[in-house]
Amino acid sequence: TAYEIVDCDWSSDVCSSDLEEVTPQDQLAGSTFAISWFTHRLNEVKGELDQQFKEFRLSEALKTIYSLIWDDFCSWYLEWVKPGPEQKMNRIVHEKTLDFFEELMQLLHPFMPFVTEEIFHQLRPRKDGEDLVIKPLTAPLPANQELLSQGLLLKKIGRAHV
């Protein structure tokens, strides 16, 4: 169903307001790769979506967004940034994760406007008139293909150990 696309494992660890200002360097280092990887993956997909929208391939655009949310964000990014047992989420990682989720809701908005608008308003306090429907899309930046390849390799290794 259409609702499943936003029903990823948005665990309490990620949504928690119990955040840590300072995190051990090794935890932040792992999150830094994840944040960089997802930033570039998001830019790569935005470029694909631009082309799909120009060619009116709306079904393919929705499949691309679905894959980005479910396969890349929920299955990989959230797992990579999730703190270990008994650790708190780093505030910087938490804020960046919310930024990503807002961008994902913006990409999904043309297909699910009411649900994405509601989620957008629940993520952070908003001013009157700060609505997803009028928020301009950010232009895609060039994606670092080497970093994306490293992410693919890490995903292959992760799948091999399951």
Nearest to 109 by CA among 9, 6, 30: 6
Q: Which of 13-22, 34-43, 122-131 has the lowest mean pLDDT?
A: 13-22
Sequential DSSP letters for 88-145: PEEHHHHHHHHHHHHHHHHHHTTTSHHHHHHHHHHHS---TT--GGGPPPPPPPPP-H
3-state secondary structure of 1: coil
- For 46, the token pair is 């935005």
pTM > 0.85: yes or no? no
Residues 6+ apart with CB under 8 A from 13: 82, 83, 89
Give the mean pLDDT of the chain.
Answer: 86
Residue 159 has pLDDT above 90, yes or no: no
Q: Could you tell me if residue 87 is left (phi over 0), alpha (psi between -120 and 50 degrees) or otherwise beta?
A: beta
Q: What is the mean pLDDT of residues 46-50?
A: 97
Report the pLDDT value the prediction gives residue 42, as an integer from 0 to 100. 98
Directed axis angle between helix 58-67 and helix 91-108, to 10°?
160
